[in-house]
Structure 1
Amino acid sequence: MTSAATTSATTTSTSPQSSSVSANLRRAGLTGAAALTAVLALAVPAAAHAEVEADKAQALAENVTLTFVSEAESASAGFREVRVVLPEGIAPADVSLGKAPKGWSLKVTADGYVVGGPALRTGVDAEYQVKVRQLPDADEVAFKTVETYSDGEISRWIELPEDGEEAEQPAPLLKLKAAAPGATPLAPSPSASPTPSPTPSAGATLSTNETTAAEAGEKKDDDGSSTGLLVGGAIAAVLVLGGGAWWLVKRRASVTGG
């Protein structure tokens, strides 16, 4: 009886200690897991603030819809426009605007396009779609993006990863599957580069020169006519004076003879 009671008392006295140790171990495990999670979160680079997705992310795919999202970062202004530099293999003429914020339009540039319009509200992401005639034959394509806010602030997402290291401000990157069997590049589209400012044509310049020459000719003719009139007037005056002198001489001779 004594032995059983002792055993029971021992068990009763050690049980709370075991529970306490188990609880401490659990807490230590949770703390370690939380610390590990925090370390891993710090080690992983921040997500890109400009991203791109495709409904057909495949090399040489045709009529592909690309969706771009620029995350709003400014606390005082909204997006006014987004400029994109197209990767090699996509011509500006091959891009057309799909869904976009109200009032926004697409303007083709020499190396890509600009989508913009009335400024969005502060904190609203800029999301729009463009349709591309064909994607290039590549493993991945980058769309360097420059965002402009209504207060003039500019955010550039144009960096590409180098030597396996993530860029601080990465350009939106689209990974592509291998091209489908038999897929081939389409013929290039006509260039849609911006029309340069109007300049005087050769015909217009020639017309101006002709007008100037005509004016000069008219001035010369006028000068010649004026000179002719002066000379003629002088000759007439000489003749009148000569005739008058002859008449006086003749009259004097007549009077003297009489």
Structure 2
Amino acid sequence: MRITPARRLAAVAAVATVAGSAVVALAAPAFAHVTVQPGTATQGGYTAVAFRVPDESDTASTVKIEVSLPMDHPLASVRTQPLPGWTATMEKSKLDKPLKAHGQDITEAVSKVTWTADAGTKIAPGQFQEFRLSLGALPADADKMTFKALQTYDNGDVVRWIDEAKEGQAEPAHPAPTLTLTKAAAATDQHAMGASQDKAAITGTATAKSSDNAARTLGVVGIVVGVIGAALGVMGLRRKTS
């Protein structure tokens, strides 16, 4: 049977559609992890983050999210942002070594925050919700903070987002939300660059003023010399006339 160009194009389009659907199906789970937004913060500083929780189920809804804070780098300040329809509770743990914050010794720190949906509230299939925290001071001697999370569905299923990604290996199936910490060197370098530019501008202004003063001085000297020359010329003419 002879295949016409139209049939050939239709077949190619169908294959492309199937392939595209397969790619989307494979890629979808990678975008459905529980993550922390934004993914970076400055060491030693304070920040506000949001734990983004998508509902991955086709039939069940998310009704609770638990986020454990790393106790190897405890935080002196943890605050929740009110979220209508959800009740936030915090658990604290005793510290082996007190933290110093604002001249006081902190003997316990928040170790877990739990958000529970009120009656009639949920994250339905195909939806997501963000749960916000204010954190500080972030550790100055760590390059990341890992927050292990548990996601509970209304059918009783619990997804444990607790696997830590390892360098050089594939991403785990249920990676824990991770906050990358960066040094404040960039801000320091920018400040130093600004100071250098200000100094250069001041130096350039001073040089310009010096050059302008020198030009004015030379101009005055030239005028004086011209006047003296003219006077001598007049005197010479008078002597010749006499």
Pairwise TM-score range, normalised by the shorter structure: 0.5 to 0.7
The one-letter code matched in structure 1 to 2:27 is V
Deviation at 1:109, TM superposition (A): 3.2
Of 76, 92, 95, the match for 2:78: 95
Kept in 1, the 8 Å contact 2:162–2:174? The answer is yes
- Give 1 or 2: higher helix fraction: 1
Deviation at 1:40, TM superposition (A): 2.8
Q: Which residue of 1 aligns with 2:234?
A: none
The change in CA–CA distance for 1:93 and 1:140 in structure 2 (over 3 A counts) is: closer
The SS at the match of 1:166 is coil
Structure-1-length-normalised TM-score: 0.49
- Give 1 or 2: higher strand fraction: 2
Structure-2-length-normalised TM-score: 0.52
Percent identical = 23
Q: Which residue of 1 aligns with 2:219?
A: none
The change in CA–CA distance for 1:96 and 1:39 in structure 2 (over 3 A counts) is: same
Most deviating of 59-68 and 122-131: 122-131
The change in CA–CA distance for 1:139 and 1:179 in structure 2 (over 3 A counts) is: same
Mark the runs of 5 or more structure 2 residues left unpaired by the alignment: 94-109, 189-242
**Matched residues in 2 for 1:93 and 1:108: separation?**
13
**Matched residues in 1 for 2:47 and 2:179: separation?**
12
1:130 maps to 2:114: no
Of 158, 161, 164, the match for 2:165: 161
The SS at the match of 1:37 is helix
**Matched residues in 2 for 1:116 and 1:149: separation?**
13
Deviation at 1:129, TM superposition (A): 0.6
Kept in 1, the 8 Å contact 2:75–2:138? The answer is no
Of 37, 62, 65, the match for 1:53: 37
Q: Which residue of 2 aligns with 1:116?
A: 115
Kept in 2, the 8 Å contact 1:84–1:114? The answer is yes
Q: Which residue of 2 aligns with 1:142?
A: 146
Deviation at 1:135, TM superposition (A): 3.5
Of 83, 90, 95, the match for 1:107: 90
**Matched residues in 2 for 1:35 and 1:78: separation?**
31
Deviation at 1:64, TM superposition (A): 0.8
1:186-205 correspondence to structure 2 within 5 Å: none
Mark the runs of 5 or more structure 1 residues left unpaired by the alignment: 1-16, 185-258
User: 4+ runs of 1 displaced by more than 6 Å?
Assistant: none
Deviation at 1:145, TM superposition (A): 0.2
Deviation at 1:36, TM superposition (A): 3.0
The one-letter code matched in structure 1 to 2:148 is K
